[in-house]
C-alpha cells in the first residue's frame, strides 16, 4: 500500500516540512512540503537524501547488554534490559544519592521525548543532572537573549528576510548549515538589489558569495567588533535615543565603555580595516530595517553569551527590533534544540522556560507534577557532567540520541570518563557510533520516519513529526523507553507516585501535559493541540488558548519580559580566544560544517551520494602556509596540540587568511586515526551558558 505522510526534516533548525512517500512499510521517497512555511517545498541536499538514509544496515535493532566491560555484549529482551538498567540505577542512587546518576540527551529528540526524560530526572529521581548536546549548540544564544531581552525567545521570523534592508550574518555559514534560510536570503537579495549583506567570519566561507562586505575578523574578536560598530553608531548619530530611553536600561554604562572601542583601536584586536568597521556600522545604522543571523561562530566560544549580547546591543541601540525585517535572529543548530529547552531540557532549566535557580519556579513545577519538591542543587552542564563521570562523582549515565565520544571538546577526556563510568546506557538508532563501544547497555530507538511528536524550529514554529513506517526490529520510541524505565525505576526505589507521574499512552498525551505547563508563560502554547496542528499546520509560539494565530514577531510593543519591562544593555568587554597561538602552536584551527553532512554522520554517512562533495575531511589552509610547511595540496598533515593529534589531508584555500586553518567537524574515529576535529578543541566554557569553545584551538600543522 502506498502512503503519503507529512513530517519535518530531522537535520538543521530550519525545520523544513517534508512529504514522505512509503510503500509496504518502506520509505520510497521524500519531497519538500509546499505548504510548510519554513521551506515552501524546498529541500537542501541532506533533506532531499532522507529517503536514501532510511536503511537498516547501520541500525541498532535489538537491546544488547554486557555484565562486565571485558565481555562482549549479548542480545537480551526488552524486559531484561530495562529491569537490569532500573536495578543498576536504583542501586547507585541508594548507595550514593540521586546526583550519582545523570542523563545526557540531544536536540535531535522530539519535545515529547525530552519531556518524559526531564520529569524522570527532576521529578522522579530528584537530580538535575540532565543536560543535552544543546549545551554545545545554542546555550550561549539562550543566555544572551536572557541577559538582554529577558527570555529565551527568538524575536524574528523567516519572513523578516523579505523585509530587511541590511542583513548582518555573524558566525554562521548559512549557505551550508541552514541552506533553505540562505536560499530565502538569495531570493530577498534578488528582489531587492539594495539589500546589503555583511558577513562576519574569520574565513571566506560559502556564505560570503552573497556578501557586499566580508569582515574576516580574528577568531574570538566578535565583541570588539560589535562594540566598535556601536561606537560608530553613537559618533555618527545613528542610534535611536527615543527607543533607548523608552524601552531599555543600562545604556549609559555601555556608552561609556564603547567610547574606548574606536575603529582604530579595534582594528588591532580584530585584524580589520577601520574603514570596514565604519562602513558596516553605517550600513546597519542607516538601514530602515536590519536583521542579524548568527549561529555557532558566536555561540561556541568561552565568551559566547557576551558575543550574543554585543550583537543584540546593535539592535536595541538602533531600534532595529520588533519590526518587520529587524531583529537579532539566532539560527538554531539542531532540529529541536528549542523544543528541548521549552520543556526544561538543560541542567539549569525547568519546564516552560522556568529557571531551576528560581524557588518560585521550582515550587510551581513541584505542584504541577505533584511531587514534594524539585531539588534546588543545579545539575551539571555537559563538560562538568563528563568530568564528574571521570572523577567518579557521577557513576551511571544514560545517553540518548547523541554521540559525545565524538562531539564533545577534548574528546580523549570524555572517552576516559565513559571508560571510568560504572554503568553506561546508550539509547540510539545507530549501532556503531563512537560512543557505542563504551555502552554496557545498548537500547534500540526509532528514528526519523518512524516516530511521532513535535519539534520547534529557529523561528519558534512548532511542527509535527509523523511516522510513515513501523519501527524496525525491536526498536522502540524514545519517550516509550524513558517511560518504561521510569516505571521500573520507580518500583525499584519504592516511589509510590510513579504511576501518577507517568500516565502517558501516546506522544499526544505527553504534549497535552507539556502544553498545560506553559499556560501563562512567555511560550504559552495552551491553544496548540495536536488537533490544531493537524488542521492549521505548523504554528509559531506563543499560541495561548483562544488565539487565532501564533505570533510572527516578538517585542513589537517595546515591552520586554524583564522585571522592569525594559531590555537590558550589558557592559561587555573584548576577551580573546581561550587559547592563543604561540611558536609551538602557530595556527588558529577553526571548525565547521559541510553542506552534505550532518553532525557525526550517523545518518548522512550511510548515503554514498552525500560524499560527492567531500569524501574525506580536508584541512583548508592558505597556500603560503602550506608551502611554508612543505605541504602540497593533497598531502597528509599532522594537526596536533596538547590534547591530541589527527592525520588529515590538506587543501589549499585562498579564502583562509594566513595563520588560520579550517576543518569539518563531521568525521570521528572512522577516518582520523581515532579522533575527529573536536579532539583538539579546548573544554573552556562560557561562565554564563557553560557552552564550550568548540570553534577555536591553537594547533601545530606539520608534514607527516
Q: Which residues bind ligand SF4 (CB under 6 A)?
A: 9, 11-12, 14-16, 39, 43-44, 46-47, 178-180
Angle between helices 359-369 and 507-518 (to 10 degrees): 140
Burial class (CB in 10 A: 0-12, 13-18, 19+), 583: exposed
Nearer to ligand SF4, 14 or 108 (CB): 14
Distance of closest approach, residue 334 Cβ to ligand SF4, in angstroms: 10
User: What does the alpha-carbon distance between residue 524 and residue 379 come to, in Å, rounded to a whole number?
Assistant: 25
Distance of closest approach, residue 180 Cβ to ligand SF4, in angstroms: 4
Sign of the torsion formed by the C-alpha atoms of 477, 483, 486 and 490: negative
Say if CB 317 and CB 239 are below 8 A apart: yes
Distance of closest approach, residue 32 Cβ to ligand SF4, in angstroms: 7
Helix, strand, coil percentages (3-state) for the chain, rounded to 5, are 35, 20, 45
**Which residue's CB atom is positioned nearest to ligand SF4?**
47
User: What does the alpha-carbon distance between residue 268 and residue 230 come to, in Å, rounded to a whole number?
Assistant: 17
Nearer to ligand SF4, 16 or 567 (CB): 16
Distance of closest approach, residue 571 Cβ to ligand SF4, in angstroms: 36
Nearer to ligand SF4, 14 or 685 (CB): 14
Distance of closest approach, residue 48 Cβ to ligand SF4, in angstroms: 7
Question: Residue 126 corresponds to which cell in the numbers above?
Answer: 530528584
Annotate 22-64 with DSSP letters as a single string.
Answer: EETTEEEEEEE-TT-TTTTT---HHHHTHHHH--STTB--S-E
Distance of closest approach, residue 103 Cβ to ligand SF4, in angstroms: 26
Q: How far separated are the first and last CA of the chain, in Å rounded?
A: 56
Nearer to ligand SF4, 44 or 417 (CB): 44
Distance of closest approach, residue 29 Cβ to ligand SF4, in angstroms: 14
Helices (H), 206-358: 222-235, 241-247, 251-258, 263-270, 274-286, 296-299, 304-318, 337-342
Residue 290, preceding peptide bond in cis (omega within 30° of 0): no
Nearer to ligand SF4, 30 or 232 (CB): 30
Nearer to ligand SF4, 458 or 517 (CB): 458
Annotate 427-490 with DSSP letters as a single string.
Answer: EESBS--TTGGG-SEEEEB--TTT--EEEE-TTSEEEEE--SSPPPTT-B-HHHHHHHHHHHHH
Distance of closest approach, residue 16 Cβ to ligand SF4, in angstroms: 3
Question: Residue 602 corresponds to which cell in the numbers above?
Answer: 550517523
Nearer to ligand SF4, 160 or 513 (CB): 160
Nearer to ligand SF4, 533 or 571 (CB): 533
Nearer to ligand SF4, 333 or 409 (CB): 333
Distance of closest approach, residue 11 Cβ to ligand SF4, in angstroms: 3
Amino acid at each position: 500500500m502506498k502512503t503519503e505522510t507529512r513530517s519535518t526534516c530531522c537535520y538543521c533548525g530550519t525545520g523544513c516540512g517534508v512529504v514522505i512517500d512509503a510503500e509496504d512499510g518502506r520509505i520510497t521517497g521524500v519531497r519538500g512540503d509546499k505548504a510548510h512555511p519554513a521551506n515552501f517545498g524546498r529541500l537542501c541536499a541532506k533533506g532531499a537524501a532522507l529517503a536514501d538514509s532510511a536503511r537498516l544496515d547501520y541500525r541498532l535493532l535489538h537491546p544488547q547488554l554486557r555484565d562486565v566491560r571485558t565481555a562482549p555484549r549479548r542480545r537480551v529482551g526488552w524486559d531484561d534490559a530495562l529491569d537490569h538498567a532500573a536495578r543498576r540505577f536504583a542501586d547507585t542512587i541508594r548507595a550514593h544519592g540521586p546526583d550519582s546518576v545523570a542523563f545526557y540527551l540531544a536536540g535531535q529528540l522530539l519535545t515529547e521525548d525530552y519531556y518524559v526524560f526531564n520529569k524522570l530526572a527532576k521529578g522522579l529521581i530528584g537530580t538535575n543532572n540532565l543536560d543535552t548536546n544543546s549545551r554545545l549548540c545554542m546555550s550561549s544564544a539562550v543566555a544572551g537573549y536572557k541577559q538582554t531581552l529577558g527570555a529565551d525567545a527568538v524575536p524574528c521570523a523567516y519572513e523578516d528576510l523579505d523585509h530587511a534592508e541590511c542583513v548582518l550574518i555573524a558566525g554562521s555559514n548559512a549557505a551550508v548549515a541552514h541552506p533553505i534560510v540562505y536560499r530565502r536570503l538569495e531570493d530577498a537579495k534578488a528582489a531587492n538589489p539594495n539589500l546589503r549583506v555583511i558577513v562576519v567570519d574569520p574565513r571566506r566561507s560559502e556564505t560570503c558569495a552573497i556578501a557586499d562586505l566580508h569582515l574576516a575578523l580574528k577568531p574570538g574578536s566578535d565583541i570588539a567588533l560589535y562594540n566598535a560598530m556601536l561606537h560608530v553608531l553613537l559618533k555618527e548619530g545613528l542610534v535611536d535615543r527615543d527607543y533607548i530611553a523608552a524601552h531599555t536600561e543600562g545604556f549609559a554604562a555601555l556608552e561609556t565603555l564603547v567610547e574606548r572601542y574606536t575603529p582604530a583601536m579595534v582594528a588591532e584586536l580584530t585584524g580589520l580595516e577601520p574603514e570596514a568597521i565604519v562602513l558596516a556600522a553605517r550600513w546597519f545604522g542607516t538601514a530602515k530595517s536590519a536583521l542579524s543571523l548568527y549561529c555557532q561562530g558566536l555561540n561556541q566560544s568561552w565568551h559566547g553569551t557576551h558575543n550574543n549580547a554585543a550583537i543584540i546591543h546593535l539592535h536595541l541601540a538602533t531600534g532595529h527590533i520588533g519590526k518587520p525585517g529587524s531583529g537579532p535572529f539566532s539560527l538554531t543548530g539542531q532540529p529541536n534544540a528549542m523544543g528541548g529547552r521549552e520543556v526544561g531540557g538543560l541542567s539549569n532549566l525547568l519546564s516552560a522556560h522556568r529557571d531551576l535557580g528560581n524557588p518560585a519556579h521550582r515550587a510551581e513545577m513541584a505542584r504541577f507534577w505533584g511531587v514534594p519538591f524539585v531539588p534546588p542543587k543545579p545539575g551539571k552542564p555537559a563538560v562538568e557532567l563528563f568530568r564528574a563521570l571521570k572523577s567518579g562523582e557521577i557513576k551511571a549515565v544514560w545517553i540518548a540520541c547523541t554521540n559525545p565520544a565524538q562531539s564533545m571538546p577534548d574528546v580523549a577526556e570524555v572517552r576516559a570518563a565513559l571508560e571510568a563510568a560504572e554503568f553506561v546506557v546508550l539509547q540510539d538508532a545507530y549501532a556503531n557510533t563512537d560512543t557505542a563501544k563504551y555502552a554496557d547497555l545498548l537500547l534500540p530507538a526509532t528514528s526519523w520516519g518512524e516516530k511521532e511528536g513535535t519539534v520547534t524550529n529557529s523561528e519558534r514554529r512548532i511542527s509535527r513529526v509523523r511516522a510513515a513506517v513501523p519501527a524496525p526490529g525491536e526498536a522502540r520510541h524514545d519517550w516509550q523507553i524513558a517511560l518504561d524505565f521510569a516505571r521500573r525505576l520507580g518500583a525499584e526505589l519504592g516511589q509510590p507516585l510513579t504511576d501518577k507521574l507517568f500516565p502517558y499512552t501516546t506522544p499526544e498525551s505527553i504534549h497535552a501535559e507539556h502544553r498545560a505547563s506553559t499556560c501563562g508563560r512567555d511560550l504559552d502554547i495552551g491553544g496548540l493541540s495536536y488537533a490544531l496542528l493537524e488542521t492549521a499546520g505548523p504554528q509559531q509560539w506563543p499560541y495561548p488558548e483562544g488565539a487565532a494565530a501564533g505570533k510572527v514577531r516578538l517585542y513589537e510593543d517595546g515591552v520586554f519580559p524583564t522585571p522592569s519591562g525594559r531590555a537590558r544593555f550589558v557592559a561587555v568587554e573584548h576577551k580573546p580566544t581561550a587559547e592563543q597561538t604561540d611558536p609551538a602552536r602557530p595556527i588558529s584551527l577553526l571548525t565547521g560544517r559541510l553542506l552534505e553532512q550532518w553532525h557525526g554522520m550517523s545518518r548522512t554517512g550511510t548515503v554514498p551520494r552525500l560524499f560527492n562533495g567531500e569524501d574525506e575531511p580536508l584541512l583548508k589552509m592558505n597556500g603560503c602556509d602550506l608551502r611554508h610547511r612543505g605541504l602540497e595540496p593533497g598531502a597528509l598533515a599532522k594537526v596536533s596540540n596538547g590534547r591530541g593529534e589527527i592525520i588529515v589531508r590538506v587543501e589549499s584555500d585562498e579564502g583562509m587568511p594566513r595563520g588560520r586553518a579550517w576543518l569539518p567537524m563531521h568525521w570521528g574515529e572512522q577516518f582520523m586515526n581515532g579522533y575527529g576535529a573536536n579532539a583538539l578543541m579546548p573544554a573552556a566554557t562560557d561562565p554564563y551558558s557553560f557552552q564550550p569553545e568548540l570553534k577555536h584551538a591553537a594547533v601545530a600543522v606539520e608534514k607527516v
